[in-house]
Chains A and B, each alone.
Chain A
Amino acid sequence: MLNNKDLLSINELSESEIISIINNANSYYHDNKITSKKKVLNNFTQINLFFENSTRTQVSFEIAGTLLGANVVNFPFNNSSQSKGETLLDLAATLNSMNPDILVIRHPDSGAVQLISEKVDCPVVNAGDGNHEHPTQALLDILTIKKRIGRIDNLKIAICGDIAHSRVARSNIFCHKKLGNKIRVIGPKTLIPKDIDKLGVQVFYNMIEGLRDVDVVMVLRLQKERMDGGYFSSEREYFHLYGLDDRKMRYAKPSAIIMHPGPMNRGIEIDGDLADNLDKSVITMQVEAGLAIRMSVLELLLKKKIENVKNYHIN
């Protein structure tokens, strides 16, 4: 069970809540396949509301809900009321009247998911809000680390690339701080937001120095669509300085793993061959873990309701 009604940010989760989400997610792995034996969300309605283009996360939430037995509705954004001028909060009120059991929302503005959550009765999962947070991504990264390295504490983690525009970076920083891991951020100064060291991370502008002896290398996607120009000079120079390749990877621990939230820009932030090297790259495992984490989050946020339904049937 989670303390809050919604999952809006990692920051509002306690360490034990993080652990319980991870453990619950782990319980969906059966013979290395993710399944749910009980359809705990049977007759529940889940609405996915993605104001920003997404395929992976949206599909992941859709499958997660479906595996748990929920009726999943993808709100058709492109021809939705947004183009008719309806405000965000009116839309929230409309959806609320349809009595969904859970809403999964992605929005291009920081804080927008929270704004909607304040106006609806059901739990809301933040599937990414602006540059703010993407909590399920951080949780699935933890689960992947747990499965691959065997522990989620006492780790040195490097997050590389476009930190400024990355909600994945923020959620991971907050998450690993809670777990007591050491976090480094690596990138050009233009993509490192001000005073990030005050959030308890070490900043490196030189990738080789930053990668020295780390256990986990997280490579971020260069969010070209979020940039209004002038953050770096060219993609080839970016790859030379901050693209993860064999040469730079040698400075990390020999056992170090490579993570990427996807979708990848091969040859810009990561070398294509390295991304495919399954000895190091856990990128496909991350996608799988994403499914388990999202199932876990959906179940735990609806735990009380699930139990009420159960008791109703028993009585």
Chain B
Amino acid sequence: MSKITTLINAILIDPKSLTQTNGSITIEEGLIQRINGPAKGNIIDCRKYCLAPGIIDLGVHICEPGERHKESFKSASMAAAAGGVTSIVTFPNTIPVIDNPELLEFFMKRARESSKVRIWPTAAITKKVEGKEISELSFLQDAGAVAFTNGLKSIQNPKIFLRALNYASSLDSLFIGNCEDYYFSEGVSATSSAFATKMGLSSTPKEAELMGLERDFLLADLSEVNYHAAQITTKKSFLKIKELKSLGKKITAGTSIHHLLFDETDIKNYRTFFKLRPPLRSSSDKLFLLQNIKDSTLDTISSFHLPQDEESKRLPYEKAAFGAIGLQTLLPACLKLVNDKIIDLPHLFRKISLNPAKILNIKSGILEEGYFADLVLFDPDKPLLIDRFNLLSKAKNTPFDGYQLFGEVLKTFVRGKEIYKSRNINDT
């Protein structure tokens, strides 16, 4: 069966050529068959809405297996689809941790059964992410792992870390690091500052991120592994990445949308939905990152979606679990950057789609003939008032609750198949 669809009259957001032009896309057999060719097959009028490559969210926690009451493949995939996310790169911090091929096969089986969006799993580089013994990386790679990580924790022992990276390097794999120093980040809920001092919160210096980055990068460089620093959230570590890139070092880096839009003062009176890891930074760090986000230093922007149930959040701030959901709000939140003229749409999609695809070596994230037709059609100007109970994730811990954002996803396609359609659009 070769079903052909042509999406006509769209504004094509091309993150590769950095253009934004009127055009059409013809989809055949799940691939982009033709751009700006003759309208064929089933024709969909995009009415001058934006058509872009689907978002690739790099660093998502799906709580399956182990904590399906927080999020499952089904709920995460629905949230992703409604948010224009066509690919989810998962973290291995499930219960149990994804650190052996049998578990990863089970994980992928569940993903195939329940997820409409594509799931790209990462696996734990050390068993149980304990930073002690190396996992079966080659088997894991064969089972589908696109990268290795040690989850949200850095590996304490540099000897073991270097060995693990060397092993990963020999398999030519990617390592995704959350580099904040292990000891500094343990059990801490805020960044050291006048705010944390005033609120009496346990805190850690923001330099913990730079410290960890410098150490992790040195080891990555020694091992020549492909290294991606997942969350850069301070000015100092941003400048470090910039310096390394200017020296031609093999490193890529990303940040979280929450750290671009919120700072520590948003915690206000101990609002636990703003308890993140790394903790929110000062307004000056946030503003610096915002001013420089268009720059090529930070390759990716992700949600770092981490569902938590009400019981884990309805606690005193110090005791509450960290993390925020973000799959469904990633695009509207990023569109705030576009509306505020901080970044334009093609540059934005470079960071949320093209670059993640390149880093992971996935044939997506690009509007080009022969690539997967993973696409999102959206109205960037539609006002969107976030009500956490209307989000599709099982867990409702979004820091955007009650916020006015802009941008509505109208349709989402994965391999040419429409997997989401907004109630506000009809195809007649």
Contacts and interface: CB of A to CB of B under 8 A. Distances in A.
A167 B192 CA distance: 17
Interface in A110-125: 110-112, 114-115
A11 B198 CA distance: 10
Contacts of A88: 315-316
Contacts of A115: 270, 314-316
Interface in B286-314: 311, 314
Given A131-B200, A194-B203, A111 B317 contact: yes
Contacts of A87: 311, 314-315
A198 B319 CA distance: 27
A199 interface: yes
Contacts of A170: 197-198, 200
Interface string A100-115: 0000000101111011
Given A170-B200, A194-B203, A196-B197, A109 B192 contact: no
A199 B194 contact: yes
A309 B201 CA distance: 41
B194 A133 contact: no
Interface residues of B, number: 21
* Main SS at interface, chain B: loop
Contact of B192 (A89, A129, A195): A195
A31 B394 CA distance: 64
A112 B315 CA distance: 8
Contacts of B198: 11, 170, 199
A76 interface: no
A88 B202 CA distance: 20
B199 to A, nearest CB: 6
A272 interface: no
* Main SS at interface, chain A: mixed
Interface string B303-336: 0000000010011111100000000000000000
Interface residues of A, number: 24
A110 B315 contact: no
A156 interface: no
A84 B172 CA distance: 51
B373 to A, nearest CB: 48
B269 interface: yes
B9 interface: no
B166 interface: no
A173 B196 CA distance: 15
Contacts of A131: 200-202
Contacts of A109: 316-319
Contact of B194 (A114, A129, A198): A198
A111 B314 CA distance: 12
Nearest to A112: B316
Interface in A178-214: 193-196, 198-199
A114 B203 contact: no
A294 interface: no
B96 to A, nearest CB: 24
B66 to A, nearest CB: 20
A221 interface: no
A57 B168 CA distance: 58
Contact of B199 (A89, A110, A194, A196): A110
B193 interface: yes
A69 interface: no
A132 to B, nearest CB: 3
Contact of B197 (A11, A107, A111, A199): A199
A147 to B, nearest CB: 29
Given A87-B311, A114-B270, 13 more contacts: A88-B315, A89-B314, A109-B318, A109-B319, A110-B200, A111-B269, A115-B315, A130-B316, A131-B200, A132-B199, A193-B203, A195-B193, A195-B194
19 contacts: A87-B314, A87-B315, A88-B315, A109-B319, A110-B270, A110-B316, A110-B318, A111-B199, A114-B269, A115-B316, A170-B197, A170-B198, A193-B197, A194-B193, A194-B196, A194-B197, A194-B203, A195-B192, A199-B198
The 4 closest A-B pairs by CB, nearest first: A111-B270, A131-B200, A132-B200, A109-B316
